[in-house]
Amino acid sequence: MKEINSFARGVLDGIPICLGYLSVSFAFGLFAVGSGLTVFEAVLISMTNLTSAGQLAGVPIIVGGGSLIELASTQLVINLRYSLMSVSLSQKLGKSVSLLDRLIIAFCNTDEIFAVASGNKQSVGKRYMYGLVLTPYLGWSAGTLFGAVAGNILPQVVVSALGVAIYGMFIAIIVPPAKKSRPTALCILLAVALSCAFKYIPALSGVPSGFVIIICAVTASVVFALAAPVQEAGEEPKDDK
């Protein structure tokens, strides 16, 4: 089968992702400096991680002086879905992709990059992949910088309002699939109920934030993986967009 391997084509396909990332990472930058990190630290996190939920969960652990075990295990669970995407993407990469290319491409394998790369009918080559990840990576880093700087200079009432942005995006990600799939909706409700229990039940409220995410998300996911497993027939698990 012929392989798509045009750098320009990759860049074009990446631009919509880049635009989306600008706004999400702007919200992350705001959140990070609002939590007490410096602008430089916020941008460093974005440049080395490229994972919205993971970064957002990581910042309170870092700022709160949580343990490295808590940080590592939180990142492991939140980013576990990428391992599945990497497995899938690994079948999609063409012959031009060497081991070194795989080591670099893996760094940029986000939900959206994976979705777009997988959307191609043919296998994809290294030049296409480098083009595809280029602008999203720059957008992710630049958006964080803008958000972090804006958090320091905008009036408090505006910063307060923008604080809700990243949660609004999360809601926009999880509600549409929940409409179409009842088990997904119920899984979300169970996760929310558990999360609220850890926040409001005094005996549980001392559990560190990272572990709360792990316990709630793993419990809800295991329950519904057993109760309502996804369809067979080689269907890909949906990405979280």
Partner 1 sequence: MKFSEFILYLFVMAGVTYLVRMLPLVLVKHKIENRFIRSFLYYVPYAVLAVMTVPGIFYSSSYLISAIIGFCVAMILAYFEKGLLPVALCACAAVLITELLIPLLT
DSSP state of 93: B
Is residue 32 close enough to count as binding partner 1 by CB under 8 A? no
Using a 10 angstrom Cβ sphere, with 0-12 exposed, 13-18 middle and 19 or more buried, the burial of residue 5 is buried
Q: How far is the CB of 161 from partner 1 (least distance, A)?
A: 4
Interface residue with partner 1, options 71, 138, 150, 154 (CB under 8 A): 71
| Chain residues 132-151 in contact with partner 1, contact rule CB under 8 A | none
Q: Show Cβ contacts of residue 197 under 8 Å, excluding neighbours closer than 6 positions.
A: 204
- The verdict on 90 binding partner 1 (CB under 8 A) reads yes
For the record, the structure tokens of 87 come out as: 């497995």
Nearest in space to 120 (alpha carbons), one of 99, 92, 146, 97: 92
Judged by CB under 8 A, does residue 7 bind partner 1? Answer: no
Which of these ranges, 9-17, 44-52, 126-134, 139-147, lies near partner 1 under the rule CB under 8 A?
44-52
CA distance 104 to 98: 10
Q: Which of 33, 43, 61, 142 binds partner 1 (CB under 8 A)?
A: 61
Residue pair 29/47 in contact by the 8 Å Cβ criterion: no
Applying CB under 8 A, among 11, 63, 134, 149 the residue interacting with partner 1 is: 63
**Window 168 to 197, contacts with partner 1 (CB under 8 A):** 168-179, 184, 187-192, 194-196
